[in-house]
Amino acid sequence: MKTAMVLALLALSLPAAAAECAYPRAPGRLPDGNTATRDEMVTAKKQVDTYLASVNTYLDCIKFEHDASLTDPAAALNDEQKKQLSLRFVQKNDAAVDEQQDVASRFNEQLRVFKARTNK
């Protein structure tokens, strides 16, 4: 019961802060390296680079919010609340990094296919 109350309090206090850090949208479908033109690959590269930079900005934002939440004297968080905030930060951070790496890997695979096809 106590944990549920702590989580409810956290849920009430976090939405305003979380709204400031916009989670970036991953690029849509990446071009197929087997059929893509050079222009399509260049455009996709720019989109992926923009996305990767946006994720880094998001990660900086959630880190700043996390640190500010833990050190805000007005919040007067107990150890359990701090633990829950830190757990939530780690989950959000890890999910964003995993998606960032997935997008980069998928693009790089198509780029290798494109280069193998066009550099013959």
Question: Tokens 């997935």 belong to which residue?
Answer: 102
pTM: 0.78
| Long-range contacts, stretch 38-45, CB < 8 angstroms, 24+ apart | 38/118, 41/110, 41/111, 41/114, 44/107, 44/110, 45/107, 45/111
Q: Which domain holds residue 44?
A: 2-24+32-118
Domains in the chain, number: 1
pLDDT in tens, 72-83: 888 788 889 999
pLDDT in tens, 87-102: 999 999 999 999 999 9
Higher-confidence residue: 9 or 41?
A: 41
d(CA 113, CA 107) in angstroms, rounded, equals 10
